[in-house]
Amino acid sequence: MSEKVLHSVITENAGEETKKQFSYMEKAEGYVKDLEKELGRKPTACVVTFGCQMNARDSEKLIGILTKIGYEQTESEDADFVIYNTCTVRDNADQRVFGRLGYVSGIKKKKPWMKIALCGCMMQEQGAIEKIQKSYRHVDLIFGTHNIFKFAELICTMFESDRMIIDIWKDTDQIVEDLPIVRKYPFKSGINIMFGCNNFCTYCIVPYVRGRERSRNPKDIIREIEYLAADGVKEIMLLGQNVNSYGRGLPKEDKMSFAELLNEVCKVDGIERVRFMTSHPKDLSDDLIKVIAENEKVARHIHLPLQSGSDEILNKMNRRYTKESYLALVDKIKAQIPDVSLTTDIIVGFPGETDSDVDETIDVVRKAEFDNAFTFIYSKRTGTPAASMEQVPESVSKPNFDRLLKVVQETAKKRASRFTGQTHRVLVEEVNEQDPSLVTGRMSNNTLVHFPADKSLIGEFVDVKLDECHGFYYMGTMIK
């Protein structure tokens, strides 16, 4: 998408930190203007995002500040300022960042004024910082997940110094509101409702790199959504590592459960579709199922990470549910929201996992009939409890992974075609990448539909008849 919307108004209730950061933005703008004079053109900035929706939203905040201080956004890493927003959930995410850093050092050698910054989850790990200090000396700025709101201030420090600037916070309880944001899509947006995670699944690094769970005040969330709706946003996605624990720790007068928040969000005029990510199965409440069932605006899609179908492995993972309780939850959801699509995440090769544990997982995949499942090979993360458990050799995990993937694909394919012949409401998102006479839209249950239509419909809801299912997507015809 090319259209960009700068959401940058300093409101009356902006806090002290927000005001301080706006003054750093003014200062940084001066530095960018100096660079512009030197280069004889507007300096460019490129933000490369790895990882999940949280990082995608954080990148919109980075681009907001970069735009505000005068950078032109580009997709090319041959830019005057390149920022890598990193992920560290699995080792291959780390390796991709090091690969990019090697590549971009070649560009910087030819452009000495070029600046390189690293931020995001991987930067919260001491080991990664040490490696960068040792082997990637051309990096100018490193910051973490907790102080991203200080980006403008850090840019000023970067321009004022020749050294590598490193600013990492161990944790924070601060939530800084009202900073500029540039959305990737004018018509849809992610919204953070909480930060961090307290669940400590034993394989997972996220609680260590994103810190303790903190919920945003519901008033701030609603205010942001009202602003977005007024700005043309029709679909929103409420973001949290476990949205079901939203509200813990909020002051008494603002206390709200996720079900209540979802209900409030649906009342905002102009918002036509509401999604959320991610729901932990251990505490998905009956109230939440009820709110979804009764509210047409809530997307017919629940991402419900299973991770494993074996009770023993689930216990070692600290997931706090069993195969039986997971399947009972799936039945309850399907009974009350018949047209819902369920998707999931599964890890294969967790320490101690045997072939028969994977049989249990496959059994759940067959019974739950997921519309899609993201399958991962377990990746050992330093500092997590599972890292010191006995690891499974690849000779065991790889065949199990392949076995699981086959069943996932078979069941998903069968499941996905169940809407063939029906007409569904679709939000048109973009021109089809392969065929420009088609547009691509998304159904409420998150399935993609390609159909002939004009690109002027991007950002609009239209009714589309689902003619043919091709695995994970449909080909359709727009109903006038």
Residues that bind ligand SF4 (CB under 6 A): 197, 199-201, 204, 206-207, 241-242, 280
Closer to ligand F3S by Cβ: residue 89 or 118: 89
- Residue 299's Cβ-count burial label (10 Å; 0-12, 13-18, 19+) is buried
Per CB under 6 A, which region of 94-102, 162-170, 202-210, 415-423 contacts ligand F3S?
202-210
Q: How far is the CB of 248 from ligand SF4 (least distance, A)?
A: 14
Query: Which single residue brings its beta carbon nearest to ligand SAH?
Result: 345
Closer to ligand F3S by Cβ: residue 88 or 440: 88
Tokens representing residue 352 in the block: 């101690």
Q: How far is the CB of 276 from ligand SAH (least distance, A)?
A: 12
- What span, in angstroms and rounded, lies between the C-alpha atoms of 81 and 108? 10
Q: How far is the CB of 438 from ligand F3S (least distance, A)?
A: 31
Amino acid at 348: V
Give CA torsion, residues 93, 95, 96, 100, to 10 deg: 140
- Residue 52 binds to ligand F3S (criterion: CB under 6 A): yes
Residues in region 79-98 near ligand F3S by CB under 6 A? 87-89
- What span, in angstroms and rounded, lies between the C-alpha atoms of 90 and 93? 6
Closer to ligand SAH by Cβ: residue 178 or 360: 360
- Residue 43's Cβ-count burial label (10 Å; 0-12, 13-18, 19+) is buried
Closer to ligand SAH by Cβ: residue 51 or 459: 51
For 152-170, letters b (16+ CB in 10 Å) and e give bbbbbbbbeeeebbbbbee
Which residues of this chain interact with ligand SAH, rule CB under 6 A?
A: 89-90, 203-204, 206, 241-242, 278, 280, 305, 307, 345, 347, 376, 378-379, 381
Closer to ligand SAH by Cβ: residue 104 or 340: 340
- Per partner kind, with CB cut-offs from 5 to 8 A, the member of ligand F3S, ligand SF4, ligand SAH, none near residue 416 is none
Q: How far is the CB of 245 from ligand SAH (least distance, A)?
A: 11
- Residue 210 binds to ligand F3S (criterion: CB under 6 A): yes
Non-local (6+) Cβ contacts of 302 within 8 A are 279, 284, 292, 333, 340, 341, 342, 343
Q: How far is the CB of 369 from ligand SAH (least distance, A)?
A: 19
Q: How far is the CB of 332 from ligand SAH (least distance, A)?
A: 19
Q: Do 202 and 386 touch, CB atoms closer than 8 A?
A: yes
Q: Do 194 and 241 touch, CB atoms closer than 8 A?
A: yes
Closest CA to 440 of 421, 422, 423, 426: 426
Per CB under 6 A, which region of 185-193, 206-214, 260-268, 333-341 contacts ligand F3S?
206-214
Neighbours of 290 (CB within 10 A): 14
Using alpha carbons, list the distances in angstroms from residue 244 to 202, 281, 288, 368, 406.
Answer: 19, 9, 8, 20, 31
- Residue 243 binds to ligand F3S (criterion: CB under 6 A): no
- Residue 278 binds to ligand F3S (criterion: CB under 6 A): no
Q: How far is the CB of 285 from ligand F3S (least distance, A)?
A: 24
Q: How far is the CB of 121 from ligand F3S (least distance, A)?
A: 3
Closer to ligand F3S by Cβ: residue 125 or 272: 125
Closer to ligand F3S by Cβ: residue 70 or 240: 240
- Per partner kind, with CB cut-offs from 5 to 8 A, the member of ligand SF4, ligand SAH, ligand F3S, none near residue 88 is ligand F3S
Q: How far is the CB of 318 from ligand F3S (least distance, A)?
A: 18
- Residue 327's Cβ-count burial label (10 Å; 0-12, 13-18, 19+) is middle
Q: How far is the CB of 314 from ligand SAH (least distance, A)?
A: 12
Non-local (6+) Cβ contacts of 335 within 8 A are none
- What span, in angstroms and rounded, lies between the C-alpha atoms of 278 and 184? 21
Tokens representing residue 441 in the block: 């839209």
Using alpha carbons, list the distances in angstroms from residue 467 to 413, 429, 475, 478.
Answer: 15, 19, 6, 10
Closer to ligand F3S by Cβ: residue 88 or 307: 88
- Strand runs labelled E in 121-272: 141-143, 165-167, 181-183, 188-192, 194-195, 214-215, 235-239
Closer to ligand SAH by Cβ: residue 68 or 303: 303
Residues near ligand F3S (CB under 6 A): 51-52, 54-55, 87-89, 121, 206, 209-210
